[in-house]
């Protein structure tokens, strides 16, 4: 038996609960992992509360991230005792995820835990930090360098935004943080931001083309925020878009694209090919100041996951939430 958060949807309604599960209920997979830590992401919050149709198969164990130790393996790349990390691949949506003491998975989804990180540190990074790294890599491929100008990060208090600021700052960029919590300016400056902007400036419909302000941006919000950001990107700059906390719509015009030649880069972390995943985790080991993880992270236990999920969706959680899995 092992403990897990299990989500049900049936005639009794939609509900999530912490319960004991028999090992025989584990899904198909060629690697069984004893989970040390998981995370609580925005998508996990949606899954647990049922506020968005994230879960597509029931019953479901949520948790799109996990780090732990291989317990048994029929995969050639992994042996018992190996430490591994998993992000995405539909885990927590169509395949049981990391909010459990055990997980059975496809070994092709796993990445070896970088020696620079403990399982808890890897989950302090999690999908959010790995996505932030993918965004930075995408902007670099477009030609972004620190001398090009300031980089904007929206949704700065969230997991992706917080890690993106820390990575960009360590790489030598001047970073502007957009947030609905301007009272926490000291937090963003500790991460490395040189300017803090109120999200109200970006939340309403704006001009099709605005004054050129930023060389590039990482956007986690979407909707009017993304449209306003694109309108103010410098000539031939780029925006890496990876989130939709403000909405799935994109009420913009073609003006920034055809008059300034800007590029909008979509960044997906769920189905990202393995070579790019490995590169992202290798880069995180060198381009993220591990000491800053303590600033953006707090730990909870499995029993705290469900109430914290509601707080997360209400905007009451800052940075990253690591779920420490009890033995």
* Residue-averaged pLDDT of the chain: 95
Residues 52-68 have a mean pLDDT of: 95
Residues 69-73 have a mean pLDDT of: 98
User: In the predicted model, is pLDDT for residue 156 greater than 70?
Assistant: yes
Please give the Cα distance from 101 to 111 (Å, whole number). 19
For 276, the enclosing helix (H) or strand (E) is: helix 274-287
The CB density around residue 138, as the number of other CB atoms within 10 Å, is 22
pLDDT band (50, 70, 90) for residue 23 = very high
At residue 82, the pLDDT reads 98
pTM value? 0.91
Of 60-64, 186-190, 195-199, 317-321, the one with minimum mean pLDDT is 317-321
**Helices 305-313 and 42-49, interaxial angle, to 10°?**
110
For 21, the enclosing helix (H) or strand (E) is: strand 13-21
Q: How far is CA 157 from the centre of its chain?
A: 12
User: In the predicted model, is pLDDT for residue 145 greater than 80?
Assistant: yes
At residue 183, the pLDDT reads 85
Q: Helix, strand, or coil here: 92?
A: coil
pLDDT band (50, 70, 90) for residue 319 = confident
Please give the Cα distance from 234 to 152 (Å, whole number). 12
User: In the predicted model, is pLDDT for residue 170 greater than 90?
Assistant: yes
The CB density around residue 286, as the number of other CB atoms within 10 Å, is 9
- Residue 230 Ramachandran class (φ > 0 left, ψ -120 to 50 alpha, else beta): alpha
At residue 263, the pLDDT reads 98
At residue 315, the pLDDT reads 84
Please give the Cα distance from 97 to 31 (Å, whole number). 13
At residue 245, the pLDDT reads 87
- The DSSP code for 247 is B
User: In the predicted model, is pLDDT for residue 327 greater than 70?
Assistant: no
pLDDT top residue among 230 and 53: 230
Residues 287-316 have a mean pLDDT of: 93
- 192-213 pLDDT, tens digit each: 999 999 999 999 999 999 999 9
Please give the Cα distance from 260 to 293 (Å, whole number). 37
Please give the Cα distance from 124 to 93 (Å, whole number). 21
- 234-269 pLDDT, tens digit each: 999 999 999 998 999 999 999 999 999 999 999 999
At residue 262, the pLDDT reads 98
At residue 79, the pLDDT reads 98
Residues 210-235 have a mean pLDDT of: 98
Residues 132-140 have a mean pLDDT of: 98
- The DSSP code for 114 is P
Residues 265-286 have a mean pLDDT of: 95
User: In the predicted model, is pLDDT for residue 326 greater than 80?
Assistant: no
Please give the Cα distance from 102 to 35 (Å, whole number). 5
List the one residue out of 131, 135, 138, 112 whose CA is nearest residue 64: 131
User: In the predicted model, is pLDDT for residue 118 greater than 70?
Assistant: yes
The CA–CA distances, whole Å, from 256 to 209, 232, 270, 277 equal 6, 8, 28, 31
Domains of the chain: 2-113+292-324 (3.90.180.10), 126-266 (3.40.50.720)
User: In the predicted model, is pLDDT for residue 76 greater than 90?
Assistant: yes
CB 80 within 8 A of CB 52: no
């Amino acid at each position: 038996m092992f403990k897990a958060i299990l989500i049900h949807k049936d005639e009794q309604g939609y509900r999530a609960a912490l319960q004991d599960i028999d090992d025989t209920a584990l899904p198909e997979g060629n690697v069984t992992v004893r989970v040390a830590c998981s995370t609580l992401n925005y998508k996990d919050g949606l899954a647990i509360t049922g506020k968005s149709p994230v879960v597509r198969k029931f019953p479901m164990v949520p948790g799109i991230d996990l780090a732990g130790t291989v317990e048994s393996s029929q995969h050639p790349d992994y042996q018992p005792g190996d430490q591994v990390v998993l992000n995405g691949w539909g885990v927590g949506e169509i395949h049981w995820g990391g909010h459990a003491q055990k997980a059975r998975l496809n070994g092709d989804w796993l990445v070896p835990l970088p020696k620079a990180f403990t399982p808890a540190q890897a989950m302090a990074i999690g999908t959010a930090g790995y996505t932030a790294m993918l965004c930075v890599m995408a902007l670099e491929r477009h030609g972004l360098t620190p001398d090009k100008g300031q980089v904007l990060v929206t949704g700065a208090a969230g997991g992706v935004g917080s890690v993106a600021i820390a990575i960009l700052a360590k790489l030598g960029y001047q970073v502007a943080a957009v947030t609905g919590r301007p009272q926490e300016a000291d937090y963003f400056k500790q991460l490395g931001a040189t300017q803090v902007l109120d999200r109200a400036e970006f939340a309403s419909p704006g001009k099709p083309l605005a004054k050129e302000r930023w060389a590039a941006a990482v956007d986690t919000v979407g909707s009017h925020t993304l449209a306003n950001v694109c309108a103010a990107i410098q000539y031939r700059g780029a925006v890496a878009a990876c989130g939709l906390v403000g909405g799935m719509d994109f009420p913009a015009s073609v003006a920034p694209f055809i008059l300034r030649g800007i590029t909008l880069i979509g960044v997906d972390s769920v189905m990202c090919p393995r070579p790019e995943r490995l590169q992202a985790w290798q880069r995180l080991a060198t381009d993220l100041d591990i000491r800053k993880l303590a600033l953006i992270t707090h730990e909870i236990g499995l029993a705290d996951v469900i109430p914290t999920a509601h707080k997360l969706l209400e905007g009451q959680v800052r940075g990253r939430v690591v779920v420490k899995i009890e033995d």
